[in-house]
Amino acid sequence: MARSLKCFPLAWLLLALTSGCGNAVYAVQASSAASKLEEAKELGAEELAPYEYYLALEHMKKAREEAAKADYSDAINYAEVSEENAEKAIRLSRDAHRGAGR
């Protein structure tokens, strides 16, 4: 029984992906990307890692546009790229803070 409970979240995710629940998957991905964008902004990524920050921001905007058109596959992809670039912006900003002795 314990093993079947551990597999439940994976089964739920697979069901969501295959049953047209792209909006749920998008919501999770977009939330994660938005959190990373906020963290990057708080670290000053607009100035310390502008390319990565604004690339993440624009991909997030595009993800929202695609989701509004119910094109969840593209929306998820844009949100993933947004999150990846936000993570880069966070890393670069932290490195800049360390280098400045903060």
- Please determine, for residue 85, whether its predicted confidence score (pLDDT) is greater than 60: yes
Lookup: tokens for 8? 């439940």
- Rounded CA Rg of the chain: 17
Per-residue pLDDT, 4? 47
| pLDDT tens figures, 8-57 | 555 555 555 554 678 999 999 999 999 999 999 999 999 999 999 999 99
Lookup: tokens for 101? 């002795």
Per-residue pLDDT, 80? 98
85 in Cβ contact with 59 (< 8 Å): yes
Q: What predicted TM-score, i.e. pTM, was given to this entire model?
A: 0.77
